[in-house]
């Protein structure tokens, strides 16, 4: 007996006919592509969010570091000021003339029969020119920081004045020694055994030795510019010269 299906055609179960065999694969492929697209989108979105998080952290760290730098700014300014002050002190120290060494040398090089009544010194051009003008000598300064010392003193004889000139040239850093005048007490002019390029001093300035009037002299000692900035101390010259 043959079975008869009494259900209407639209309600009958469908039987595979093989006519649409590849359509399911297309559907599966489309679903796969959608899944891959969603996965790529999710991964890209996660990467963007991670990058935004990193950017936010970097900005917060930058603001924190800037705030810290502002707090530490005064310390940096203090360090800069310290460096500037140290450089200024070094510059001043390098340009300082060793007057203490000069005084010690003077005490050694002056002859026994010569003594000083006045000594003026300067380590800048304006004061140095003033000393030179006041002593009557022609200054050899040329606008640089050339130290100059003006000396007034007394000697028992003219030869002692000459010895003093020779010995002063042996001082550390001396470039020139200029005699302004050397005048015997009682002389009223440049004659009578005296050498003068300025007015003589009064007869009672230096007194007399063994009944003979002493000589008053005035001179300028000019130093090298390098001597002012060397900052080095040297020993007193061992050989003084001058015949004594």
Mean pLDDT of each 10-residue bin along the chain, 244 residues long: 74 66 76 90 91 90 86 78 85 74 86 90 62 45 67 93 91 88 71 38 68 92 68 51 47
The rounded distance, in Å, linking the Cα atoms of 132 and 136 is 6
136 touches 152 (CB < 8 A): no
CA 58 to chain centre: 40
List pLDDT tens digits, range 134-161: 444 434 434 456 788 899 999 999 999 9
Domain borders along the chain are 25-94, 99-229
Sequence-ordered alpha helix ranges (H) in the chain: 23-94, 99-109, 125-135, 158-168, 225-229
Task: Please check whether the domain covering 99-229 is classified as CATH 3.30.70.
Answer: yes
Kindly give, in sequence order, each residue whose CB lies less than 8 Å from that of residue 109, ignoring residues fewer than 6 positions away.
167, 168, 170, 171, 236, 237, 240
List pLDDT tens digits, range 167-190: 998 888 888 999 999 999 876 444
138 touches 178 (CB < 8 A): yes
99 touches 125 (CB < 8 A): no
202 touches 184 (CB < 8 A): no
């Amino acid at each position: 007996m043959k079975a008869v299906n009494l259900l209407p055609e639209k309600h009958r179960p469908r039987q595979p006919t093989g006519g649409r065999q590849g359509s399911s694969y297309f559907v599966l492929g489309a679903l796969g592509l959608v899944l891959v697209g969603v996965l790529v989108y999710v991964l890209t979105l996660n990467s963007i969010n991670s990058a935004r998080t990193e950017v936010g952290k970097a900005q917060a760290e930058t603001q924190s570091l800037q705030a810290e730098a502002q707090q530490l700014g005064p310390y940096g300014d203090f360090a800069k000021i310290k460096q500037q002050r140290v450089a200024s002190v070094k510059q001043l120290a390098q340009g300082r003339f060793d007057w203490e060494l000069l005084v010690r040398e003077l005490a050694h090089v002056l002859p026994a029969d010569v003594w000083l009544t006045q000594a003026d010194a300067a380590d800048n051009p304006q004061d140095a020119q003033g000393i030179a003008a006041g002593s009557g000598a022609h200054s050899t300064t040329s606008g640089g920081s050339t130290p100059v010392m003006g000396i007034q003193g007394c000697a028992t004889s003219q030869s002692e004045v000459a010895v003093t000139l020779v010995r002063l040239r042996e001082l550390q850093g001396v470039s020139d020694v200029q005699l302004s005048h050397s005048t015997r007490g009682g002389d009223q002019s440049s004659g009578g055994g005296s050498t003068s390029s300025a007015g003589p001093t009064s007869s009672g300035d230096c007194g007399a030795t063994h009944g003979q009037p002493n000589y008053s002299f005035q001179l300028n000692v000019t130093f090298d510019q390098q001597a002012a900035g060397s900052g080095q101390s040297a020993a007193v010259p061992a050989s003084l010269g001058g015949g004594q």
